[in-house]
A and B are shown apart, each in its own frame.
Chain A
Amino acid sequence: MRTMELWLGALGCAGLVAALYAALLLAPAAVGESVAQRILYLHAPSAFAAYGCIFVVAIASALYLWKRSAAADRVAVAAAEVGVLMCTLVLVTGSIWGRARWGAWWTPDPRLTLTLILWAIYLSYVLLRAFGGDDDEIAPYAAVLGIFGVLAIPAIRVSARLMKGMHPSVLAPREGGGSGLADPYMKLAFWGGAVAMLLVAACLVLLRTRLERAERETMALRRVADAAEGVAG
């Protein structure tokens, strides 16, 4: 387990560094865009990682409900937290880009709205686990939330499109920047970054899963110790 995390982490970080190098220095500027456009090379990969995490939460939750596997539950917890982290990254980078390009900290872009809502859903998952009570008790409830979250995605996309009618059309940040991913360095920065971010996310999820396992074992041991103390004392 540890070796895999190490490799994933190392590869991921190396990949990110390479991708960011490509993004900042090698890739040509996109037509009609400023330097700030380059933040896309962090924004889009984070989005990939965020969705990856969300699907992991859904699958792990379904597995938990089906098999009542404690391991699946731990993975769901980890993936939800990393997912919130990644969504935060998407929102922040998206906001910065929006500010640089259109002068507004928030744009009613459907994809950004989708990410915001997902951020809120998985944040509520994290809060439920933090404040809801014992892990054993709330695991099934959290699992249902994890599954509902994924089911909400199509609904959110469709309804966000409904909202577009309200505002003057805002240029949605198309994949690859304003003019498409023409240049090979752009492709490298974009896709390389996506893969690298996924690796980093995977590493974080694995680390967090292991941490969760250690936490639960410690709590169980503590309870046993308390019980023994109660009998002896």
Chain B
Amino acid sequence: MRATLAIVRKDLRIEWRTRETATTLAVLGVLLVTVLAFAHDPDPEAAPLFVPAVLWSAMVFTGLLGVERGFLLEREQDCLAGLRGAPIDPTALYAAKLVVNVLLLGATHAVVVPLTGLFLHVDLFPVLAPLALVLLLGTVGFAAVATLFAFVTVRLRSRQVMLPLLVLPLLIPLLIAAVKATEAVLGAGLAGARDALGVLVSFDVIFVTAGALLFPAIVRD
């Protein structure tokens, strides 16, 4: 949709100009991977087992901090009123923020994945393509739920703690599937991950659709 693309372009342009979010998230991702890797301090044989947990913990942590940014920037200068006053489908706003969040988290993955490989003594290059697929599916599902609730929590008083509280229980099935898929991909390749990938895909479909359908109901306020 034209409106979705316009909003995505606008957000990316703002992000490019300030470079604020992508940098912060990337740095946070690095810090988190470092902490997790050294907290476990596993020996080189056991280390690869921690890769899925580290990758997905990093995504959840940085994701929870990053998804609110999209709606925070609409609060300045009452820009949300500008968007709501335009003859566009409210779903376009949700879709646009979702896309931007996936892109930002993708940028974070780009930093976190090599670093994880480094600290945990795993060569991730051979499995990069299937790993990227799992990361993409998991990130889309995460963003589908987190983006919608970010719109809610940005407007609440007790903002900081609310987003993880609302979103994490819903995301547990996604995270389980994502971790299992990552394990399978690292071990046996894409074929072994088929069940987990199925769960990821269904989760994505259900929650992107639900988010797109329900977002207009809450943006009326």
A residues with a Cβ closer than 8 A to B are 65, 117, 120-121, 123-124, 127-128, 131-133, 137-138, 140-141, 143-145, 147-149, 151-152, 154-156, 158-160, 162-163, 165
B180 CB–A CB distance under 8 Å:
yes
Nearest B residue to A161 via CB reads: B195
5 A–B contacts from the bound complex (CB under 8 Å) = A132-B156, A144-B152, A147-B214, A149-B170, A162-B199
Which residues 82-132 of B sit at the A interface, judged by CB distance below 8 A?
none
Chain B 161-177, CB-CB to A under 8 Å as 1, else 0, gives: 01001101110111011
How far does the alpha carbon of A137 sit from the alpha carbon of B169 in the complex, in Å?
A: 23
- Count the B residues whose beta carbon is within 8 Å of the partner chain — how many? 34
User: Chain A at the B interface: mostly helix, strand, loop or mixed?
Assistant: helix
B77 CB–A CB distance under 8 Å:
no
B residues with a Cβ closer than 8 A to A are 145, 148-149, 152, 155-158, 162, 165-166, 168-170, 172-174, 176-177, 180, 195-196, 198-199, 202-203, 206-207, 210, 214, 217-218, 220-221
Q: How many A-B residue pairs have CB under 8 A?
A: 91
Q: Tell which of A120, A133, A158 touches B169, judged by Cβ atoms closer than 8 Å.
A: A120
The answer to whether A138 touches B156 (Cβ under 8 A) is yes
Q: Tell which of B168, B195, B199, B207 touches A148, judged by Cβ atoms closer than 8 Å.
A: B207
How far does the alpha carbon of A65 sit from the alpha carbon of B145 in the complex, in Å?
A: 18
Residues A131 and B158 in contact in the complex (CB < 8 Å), given A124-B165, A152-B170, A162-B180: yes
The answer to whether B207 touches A151 (Cβ under 8 A) is yes
How far does the alpha carbon of A121 sit from the alpha carbon of B196 in the complex, in Å?
A: 22
Q: Chain B residues with Cβ under 8 A from A145's Cβ? A: 149, 166
How far does the alpha carbon of A120 sit from the alpha carbon of B202 in the complex, in Å?
A: 22
The answer to whether A128 touches B166 (Cβ under 8 A) is yes
Q: Chain B residues with Cβ under 8 A from A156's Cβ? A: 172-173
